[in-house]
Chains A and B, each alone.
Chain A
Amino acid sequence: MTATKAPIETPSKQPPVRRPGDRIFAGTAKGSGIFILLVLAGVAAFLIGEAIPALTAPSADIPGGEGLAGYVGPLILGTLLGAVLALLVATPLAVGIALYVTYYAPRRIAAVLGYVIDLLAAIPSVVYGFWGLAVLAPALVPFHVWTAEHLGWIPFFAGPASTSGRTMLTVGLVLAVMILPIISAIAREVFSQAPALHREAALALGATRWEMIKLAVLPYGKSGVIAGAMLGLGRALGETMAVAIILSGGAGATVNLISNSNPSTIASNIALRFPEATGLGVNTLIASGLVLFLITLAVNMLARWVVNRRADFSGAN
């Protein structure tokens, strides 16, 4: 009895074996974790510290003369408008691509296609910007005219149609292309991990391939797709160079997507105005940066919440 008891008790009393490698690895991992928190805290502290003069200044001193809310308001609208538009276009496309690559395409084509789509993420945003300005915007002018004529009763397409094509609509489409690889990469990953048992069971019960995807793959991948979409949204919200080059911004708050006058976005506005800004102008720009920081934070937290809520009935278990 005692002989059998002794070997059970000893391991719990002795600490686990720790070699130097364990300590070093644990230390560096912990250090990295703390470091990223410090960086984030540093950025937040900088933004808040520099934004305070703009937050406390009388509204007449803020550029534009209508106070901080009057300055940042249209920018927030522009930022959300472009990013949401991009998300609406990119998400269905990315899910389609991911399903095709994982379940429809022959293996060889799938590998090439996946590689090509990942390549989209490697193109610098300034190149997207020039492409949007020189190619896409002029090409979309007839489309703008058509939408203004036929869909003009929707406030988003109220017109008058832009003559240059450098509109929020064009920006949304370019941003959609830019965030496509992010969403499709994550969607591809989760779809390919849909449990083989579920899939085979669905097929064995007589489901067609589409029904199998509907029953076994999509419910399983839903939270992953949402997470990918939110990552994409984060990128679209913060995209600077491409928007600064393409968008004809600077107008007040309007949801009209196809006219010459569009609200600018926070990030592109900072990029355009910072080089010549002085004094309170700089503080105002940084305050708008703080707003963008908070929006991105909110989007990420929302994504977390959605993913956690859906995880219970995703079919993953």
Chain B
Amino acid sequence: MKLSTKTRATTLSVALASTLALSACGASNESGTEETSGGGSTQELSGDLAGAGASSQQAAMEAWQAGFQGEYPDVNFSYDPAGSGAGREQFIAGTTAFAGSDAALDEEELAAAQERCAGGEIFQLPNYVSPIAVIFNLEGVDELNLSPQTIAGIFTGAITTWNDPAIAGDNPDATLPATAITPVHRADDSGTTDNFTDYLFQAAGDVWTAEPDGVWPLPGGEAANGTSGVVEVVTSTDGAVTYADASRAGDLGVANVAVGEEFVAPSAEAAAAVVENSPAVEGRGEYDFAIEVNRETEGSGEYPIVLVSYHIGCMQYDEEETTNNVKAFMEYVISEEGQQAAAENAGNAPISESLREQAQTAVEAIAAG
């Protein structure tokens, strides 16, 4: 009895000591970031921080908002999921401080955006990365290997049954039924469709010739409204296949996509990997990290069907308050904690360490003039 109390006490003190050590460590970390942030005491932020843009980021944005406002309760944060195009327009017009966008600014928008910013410089950070999975409902089959040409053939309607030789060739071990394929696409205008068709356009060669677009570019086929709509239709239809955020696959079958010689399943790591190894858009500013996703990658463990959504803002605003708010918010978004919170809420892929470091250089450079 006595002994056990003593042991417990020892354990307790050890635990206490390590906690103290850890908190000390944390404290030193904190002071470190405060030093680098440079712009006064971060705890006293107030005023407004308004953003608008991609609805794909909405769930992640809710998590970021919760985390950010937990730290800075006096900042009046708002994000209007009005759509990527509207988000970029509002940012350029100066009605919002930052934009969320599934597409990077084009040259024309870039020039207008630079005019809108106090220092004439903007940042574009690929902070939201989400793998898009090819999801199917086929009795007795949970996993399939599909090449980009096969996926394109399925969605153009050239491949009509699941036991087609093109599918069977890549899946020698699967027993494929002769069920008819029902390809389901989004009825609404969406960044998911834009990225999926961009992938097919680049990776599937001459099987897919339609220009990438947010609205499904081919006539015909089954269409449903929103991610939940397509998933609902696939769930209730045997032989149906669609594309959607990987986190929404649930119990449905998920395809492994051919990359080089191997087949890669959609995962957070594989999505982050392809973004990390994609080339930057050339001729952009120092902190403009717009990328061209490498859809034709052959890199091992890279999953090329990803949706990359950006945060676009100014390196410097007319008002110091806005500058500080944007800086603090972006700091939180790219932090491990922020990315983890978003991943839990939205099911997206947290950005990799090197992407974080890259973004960190931009966030640190945000400053009032």
Q: Report which A residues bind B (CB closer than 8 A).
A: 63, 133-134, 138, 162-164, 166, 244-245, 248-252, 260-261, 264, 272-273, 275-279, 281
Contacts and interface: CB of A to CB of B under 8 A. Distances in A.
Given A244-B225, A248-B187, A250-B187, A278 B220 contact: no
Nearest to B234: A164
Contacts of B219: 250-252, 261
Given A248-B222, A272-B189, A278-B85, 6 more contacts: A166-B222, A244-B225, A248-B233, A251-B220, A276-B83, A277-B83
Contacts of A63: 215
A275 B188 contact: yes
B236 A138 contact: yes
Task: Please give me the 8 A-B residue pairs with the lowest Cβ-Cβ distance, nearest first.
Answer: A278-B85, A261-B220, A276-B189, A276-B83, A272-B188, A260-B222, A163-B182, A164-B237
Interface of B: 55, 82-86, 89, 180, 182, 184, 187-190, 214-216, 219-225, 229, 232-233, 236-240
A279 B237 CA distance: 37
Nearest to B83: A276
A302 B232 CA distance: 40
Interface of A is mostly: loop
Contacts of B236: 134, 138, 164
A244 B219 CA distance: 17
A244 B187 CA distance: 9
Contacts of A164: 182, 184, 222, 233, 236-237, 240
Given A276-B55, A276-B83, A276-B85, A163 B188 contact: no
Nearest to B191: A276
A249 B220 CA distance: 8
B224 A276 contact: no
Contacts of A278: 83, 85-86, 89
Please indicate which of the listed interface residues A162, A250, A275 has the most CB atoms of chain B within 10 Å of its own CB: A250
- Highest count of chain A CB atoms <10 Å: which of B85, B180, B216, B239: B85
Contacts of A264: 187
A277 B83 CA distance: 8
A145 to B, nearest CB: 11
- The interface centre, meaning the residue of B84, B180, B221, B239 with most chain A CB atoms within 10 A of its CB, is B221
A273 B189 CA distance: 6
Nearest to A161: B180
Contacts of A261: 219-222
A134 B223 CA distance: 15
A250 B85 CA distance: 21
B315 to A, nearest CB: 25
Given A164-B240, A245-B229, A248-B187, A275 B83 contact: yes
Given A163-B180, A248-B223, A250-B223, A276 B188 contact: yes
B99 to A, nearest CB: 12
A168 to B, nearest CB: 13
A275 B240 contact: no
Most A CB contacts (10 A, CB to CB) among B84, B189, B225 go to B225
Given A164-B182, A245-B225, A273 B188 contact: yes
B22 to A, nearest CB: 46
A278 B240 CA distance: 31
Contacts of A273: 188-189, 215
Contacts of B222: 162-164, 166, 248, 260-261
A134 B233 CA distance: 9
Most chain B CB neighbours (cut-off 10 Å) among A248, A276, A277, A278? A276
28 contacts: A133-B232, A163-B180, A163-B182, A163-B222, A163-B237, A164-B184, A164-B222, A164-B233, A164-B236, A245-B225, A248-B184, A248-B224, A251-B220, A251-B221, A251-B223, A252-B219, A260-B220, A260-B222, A261-B220, A261-B222, A272-B188, A272-B189, A273-B188, A275-B82, A275-B83, A276-B55, A276-B189, A281-B189
Contacts of B86: 276, 278
B185 to A, nearest CB: 8
B85 A279 contact: yes
Contacts of A260: 182, 220-222
Most buried by A among B184, B189, B214: B189
Contacts of A133: 232-233
Contacts of A276: 55, 83-86, 188-190, 214
Contacts of B214: 276
A124 B289 CA distance: 46
Nearest to A275: B83
A138 B238 CA distance: 11
A43 to B, nearest CB: 23
Nearest to A272: B188
Nearest to B213: A63
Contacts of A134: 232, 236
A178 to B, nearest CB: 18
A33 B83 CA distance: 39
Contacts of B83: 275-278
A237 B332 CA distance: 48
A163 B160 CA distance: 12
A272 B224 CA distance: 10
Nearest to A261: B220
A276 B222 CA distance: 20
A87 B9 CA distance: 81
A252 B216 CA distance: 12
Contacts of B188: 272-273, 275-276
B239 A163 contact: yes
Given A166-B233, A260-B220, A261-B219, A272 B180 contact: no
A23 B240 CA distance: 67
B220 to A, nearest CB: 4
A260 B224 CA distance: 11
A84 B84 CA distance: 37
A272 B193 CA distance: 14
Nearest to A277: B189
